[in-house]
Structure 1
Amino acid sequence: MTQSTPSSAMAGAPLNKFHLTLLACCSFIMFFDGYDLIVYGSVLPTLMNEWSLSPDQAGWLGSAALIGMMCGAVFLGSLADRVGRRPIILHGTLLFSLAAAATALAPNPDIFWALRFITGVFLGGVIPNIVSLMNELAPASKRHTLTTVMLSMYSVGSIIATLIALWVLPLLGWQPIFFISGVSLLLLPVLYRQMPESMAFLMSQGRVTDARRLLTRALPAADHALIDWTVPPATQRASVSVAQLFRSGRALGTPMVWIAFGMCMLMVYGLNTWLPKIMIASGFDLGSSLQFLVVLNVGATAGALAGGWLGDRFGNKKVLVAFFALAVLSLVFLGMHPAPVLLNALLFLAGATTVGTLAVVHAFGADFYPTGIRSTGVSWCSAIGRFGAIAGPILGGSLLALKLPPEQNFLIFAVPGVVAIVAVLLVISPKTASRAKTMQMPEDTVAVKN
């Protein structure tokens, strides 16, 4: 009788309470990722007035958390392939929550920048690992859907941050908006009790007893006698290097995935940071401009959810190309002074296909790498992508400093979408590349849906 591996048994499990609990825990973290990162765009006009910031200074201040995320993804995200997903996720969540809440106490831009940077470092370590964990433990038939549902909570957090800013800013100022980030600390005991470890990591470390417990949680009726619990030899448990991301047919695919991440993040963070100021420059008041940010992120939530459903049916690659094309079109038309109803419709579509696409591109990256190097792969995608995220706020500040017409600002933000389309089209699945070069190792074969 053929035995299955523990990971394949997990992949074949039906959707149940274990998966929904995992989804809830990871979604909770992603919600506060969206809240903590987008809250800056909500308070930006107020901070610029209070601290007399120029657009260039405000853009640099907005990049602090994103620079931190890049550093965290490189150093903490990759560390999880050696110490496990769970400790990085739990301790990172504790520390980014503390740093985010402490930002409310910042007396000047320098301290504000430092606290935002620290927040970003621990977010950067946590996010790639919850993406990898969901991708590894979800049922294979629901993997893309669950991953993108989780990632869509980023947009929900963004919406809540903007709505709180609309209500709190006029009454209490910007500080209480950051204090609210500390609410995430209240649910940490639940995360410590419920967050599982990666099955692949447990087996790679020879922790068979823990692996059996995990399978029982996910698949209570599993017959352990039908599972091959053989621990891989030490020679197959070597530490992961970045060079492995370019091997086995991934020499072109890895940099192209990086570019897709970077271009997507440039549009996401550029628009979320500067949309209120761009709309104010177009003649709208602060309240209306923040409402436009809500519309953008409502669209983002819808786009992320739709992307997950479409990804399970047509493949993430096709969905990404379609979404980036719609993003380009929506941003181009936003620069043509549309009527109010069309303006909101285009902002909804722009949110769905820029911010919403962020969920799809993470699932695309997770698909591209095999389990043994997935956290390292997704972490480096996220880290390199942060160059685009950092560039977004800085680019927006530079454009406003140049006092360009609003329509030109939208056109410039559409260009990264074109670059992203080309990059995604150039990504070839490792399996396809191996057939062409006859060099692929069987255990490294992971196909990207085309």
Structure 2
Amino acid sequence: MRTVHAGETIDKSRFNLFHLLLIFWGFFIILVDGYDVVIYGSIVPSLIEEWSISSVTAGAIGSYTVMGTVVGAVFFGYLADKVGRKKIILFCTALFSLFTALSGVAGGPVLFTVFRVISGIGLGGVMPNVIALTTEYAPKKIRSAMISFVFCGYSVGAIAAALASRAILPEFGWRPIFWIAGLPLLVLPFIAKAIPESAVFLLEKGKNEEVKQILKKVNPELSLNGETRLERTEAPEQGSTIVKLFEKKRGFSTLMFWISCFSCFVLIYSMNTWLPKLMIQAGYSLSSSLLFVAMMNVGAIVGTIAFGPLTDKLGFKKVMIPLYVCGAIALASIGLTQNAVLAYILIGFIGASSVGVQNISNAMVSQYYPPSMRSSGVGASMAFGRLGGIFAPTFVGILLTMNLPAQMNFSLIAIAAVVGAIAIAFVQEKHAHYGMAGEGQPEEKRAV
């Protein structure tokens, strides 16, 4: 009887239509995630005016929404390791699409917040599972680059949100901007048909024939018949996947990932929620401030595409730490200039060192843990990181009520980038799962 190792087959596969479809739909789902996050920041000035709420209340609404993403990341990250990643991706996509669209019909801040929290639960659940599924099926040579590219969708969605807000707000108000986010409901059947279930999950459930069909798509030249036996090169670790994150000397690095992710989300949510307001405070118009949001996410895309593939050659630390440092310098400098061109460049650096670093960090975390706990590992990291997303909108809202100079506000936010760099520096890569980018581990030890 011939034996085929599923993990090795995927690792050695060549990029083909199967991978392209996985990237396309993963990119699309994350694009809507990015759109959802940024539209709130774009319409905050409108909500403050229409509903007569304070900056602190507006910041709190943003924080409540992120609380939902924390719940979603933990719960659905854990559940996916039990019931399958594909099911969770489809359910969470439907959940956040529906309730983001419903937010556009809310008549007041209370109902609006309820809809935003529920959509946040879906958003929090979908991201770690898209990361885990992409990691599992990406060819080894381009794994980090493929994951990072998928998460460029976040920045494209953020740009789309900024541009849509700039075009729609003056003529039609803020509500249609939310209705656009319901579009994924229309393409959900296509997503269900295109993306596969986790091979690791299917093997654990004894569904070998389904895995064979997937492997034929991964490698069309692979010959599989009824007598072919599928094996994993590594047995799944038993017990609670959350507890396992702290075993086998992984605990300290798990905490460092959480701190880094927290820092990244402080940067991301500070900027995406309050950048228009901060730039208005610095002397720019609302229209110009929305373009700064777009520019920040252009920087995130450029940073991810330019630096993400480097992690496959240099390792994660040598890429992420310098990006964090550059981001801190850019944030501390943005309030010192009135030159619009220089301000756009600095905002681009901030995008690369916040969203861009988080995109690269997703690839790092997903490869650090064994496949049996991958969704839980990424979900827990992002859940803790989202606490930074809860903290940041309210924190910056309070800063704005203190009437501090613009430079001081940006400098205080920059502290998060310094903390993130320190945390990544202390990650112990020697205890990582086999196959991390830049680690040079033997290929035969790599599992699905």
1:11 paired residue number: 11
Aligned mates of 1:393, 1:268 — CA distance in 2:
10
Consecutive unaligned residues in structure 2, runs of 5 or more: 440-448
Instruction: Decide whether the 8 Å contact of 1:99 with 1:115 is kept in 2.
Output: yes
Q: How do 1:363-442 and structure 2 match up within 5 A? A: 363-431=363-431
Structure 1 residues 350-376: Cα deviation after superposition (integer angstroms, max 9, x where no partner)? 112212112011111112111111011
Stretch of structure 1 that moved more, 32-41 or 214-223: 214-223
Instruction: Decide whether the 8 Å contact of 1:317 with 1:364 is kept in 2.
Output: no
Stretch of structure 1 that moved more, 319-328 or 218-227: 218-227
Q: How do 1:96-245 and structure 2 match up within 5 A? A: 96-224=96-224, 228-230=229-231, 236=236, 238=238, 240-245=240-245
Instruction: Decide whether the 8 Å contact of 1:92 with 1:123 is kept in 2.
Output: yes
Q: Would the alpha carbon gap of residues 231 and 423 (structure 1) be closer, same or farther in structure 2, given more than 3 Å must change?
A: closer
Aligned mates of 1:145, 1:167 — CA distance in 2:
33
Aligned mates of 1:445, 1:21 — CA distance in 2:
27
Aligned mates of 1:227, 1:219 — CA distance in 2:
15
Instruction: Decide whether the 8 Å contact of 1:369 with 1:446 is kept in 2.
Output: no
Q: Would the alpha carbon gap of residues 342 and 2 (structure 1) be closer, same or farther in structure 2, given more than 3 Å must change?
A: farther
Instruction: Decide whether the 8 Å contact of 2:282 with 2:335 is kept in 1.
Output: no
Aligned mates of 1:315, 1:156 — CA distance in 2:
26
Aligned mates of 1:403, 1:319 — CA distance in 2:
36
Q: Would the alpha carbon gap of residues 18 and 307 (structure 1) be closer, same or farther in structure 2, given more than 3 Å must change?
A: same
Q: Would the alpha carbon gap of residues 223 and 292 (structure 1) be closer, same or farther in structure 2, given more than 3 Å must change?
A: same
Aligned mates of 1:447, 1:20 — CA distance in 2:
22
Per-residue deviation at 1:430? 4.5
Aligned mates of 2:158, 2:198 — CA distance in 1:
29
Per-residue deviation at 1:8? 1.4
TM-score (norm 2): 0.94
Aligned mates of 2:223, 2:430 — CA distance in 1:
33
Aligned mates of 1:240, 1:139 — CA distance in 2:
28
Q: How do 1:270-349 and structure 2 match up within 5 A? A: 270-349=270-349
Aligned residue pair count: 438
Aligned mates of 2:154, 2:124 — CA distance in 1:
14
Stretch of structure 1 that moved more, 142-151 or 307-316: 307-316
Instruction: Decide whether the 8 Å contact of 1:249 with 1:430 is kept in 2.
Output: no
Instruction: Decide whether the 8 Å contact of 1:317 with 1:449 is kept in 2.
Output: no
1:357 paired residue number: 357
Instruction: Decide whether the 8 Å contact of 2:78 with 2:241 is kept in 1.
Output: no
Q: Would the alpha carbon gap of residues 146 and 230 (structure 1) be closer, same or farther in structure 2, given more than 3 Å must change?
A: closer
Per-residue deviation at 1:4? 4.8
Q: Would the alpha carbon gap of residues 448 and 232 (structure 1) be closer, same or farther in structure 2, given more than 3 Å must change?
A: closer
Aligned mates of 1:269, 1:141 — CA distance in 2:
32
Instruction: Decide whether the 8 Å contact of 1:6 with 1:215 is kept in 2.
Output: yes
1:26 equivalent in alignment to 2:29: no
Structure 1 residues 262-290: Cα deviation after superposition (integer angstroms, max 9, x where no partner)? 00110011111101001111222211111
Instruction: Decide whether the 8 Å contact of 1:81 with 1:375 is kept in 2.
Output: yes
Q: Would the alpha carbon gap of residues 153 and 231 (structure 1) be closer, same or farther in structure 2, given more than 3 Å must change?
A: closer
Instruction: Decide whether the 8 Å contact of 1:429 with 1:446 is kept in 2.
Output: no
Q: Which amino acid aligns with 1:47?
A: L
Structure 1 residues 237-275: Cα deviation after superposition (integer angstroms, max 9, x where no partner)? 745331100111202100000000000110011111101
Per-residue deviation at 1:175? 0.3
1:59 paired residue number: 59
Per-residue deviation at 1:116? 0.6
Q: Would the alpha carbon gap of residues 358 and 81 (structure 1) be closer, same or farther in structure 2, given more than 3 Å must change?
A: same
1:38 paired residue number: 38
1:49 paired residue number: 49
Structure 1 residues 390-437: Cα deviation after superposition (integer angstroms, max 9, x where no partner)? 1111111011011111000110111011111110010002537xxxxx
Q: Which amino acid aligns with 1:34?
A: G
Q: Helix, strand or coil: the match of 2:401?
A: helix
Q: Would the alpha carbon gap of residues 445 and 302 (structure 1) be closer, same or farther in structure 2, given more than 3 Å must change?
A: closer
Per-residue deviation at 1:447? 4.5
1:439 paired residue number: none
The CA RMSD over aligned residues, in Å, is: 2.0
Aligned mates of 1:23, 1:445 — CA distance in 2:
23
Structure 1 residues 141-199: Cα deviation after superposition (integer angstroms, max 9, x where no partner)? 11111101100110000000010100100001000000011111121111011110111
Aligned mates of 1:129, 1:430 — CA distance in 2:
25
Aligned mates of 1:115, 1:398 — CA distance in 2:
24
Instruction: Decide whether the 8 Å contact of 2:250 with 2:431 is kept in 1.
Output: no
1:85 paired residue number: 85
Per-residue deviation at 1:313? 2.0
Per-residue deviation at 1:389? 1.1
Aligned mates of 1:372, 1:337 — CA distance in 2:
49
Q: Helix, strand or coil: the match of 2:104?
A: helix
TM-score (norm 1): 0.93
Per-residue deviation at 1:65? 2.2
Q: Helix, strand or coil: the match of 1:246?
A: coil
Instruction: Decide whether the 8 Å contact of 1:66 with 1:386 is kept in 2.
Output: yes
Aligned mates of 2:307, 2:319 — CA distance in 1:
7
Aligned mates of 1:70, 1:47 — CA distance in 2:
24
Q: Helix, strand or coil: the match of 2:374?
A: helix
Q: Which amino acid aligns with 1:202?
A: L
Per-residue deviation at 1:317? 2.1
Consecutive unaligned residues in structure 1, runs of 5 or more: 433-443
Q: Which amino acid aligns with 2:185?
A: L
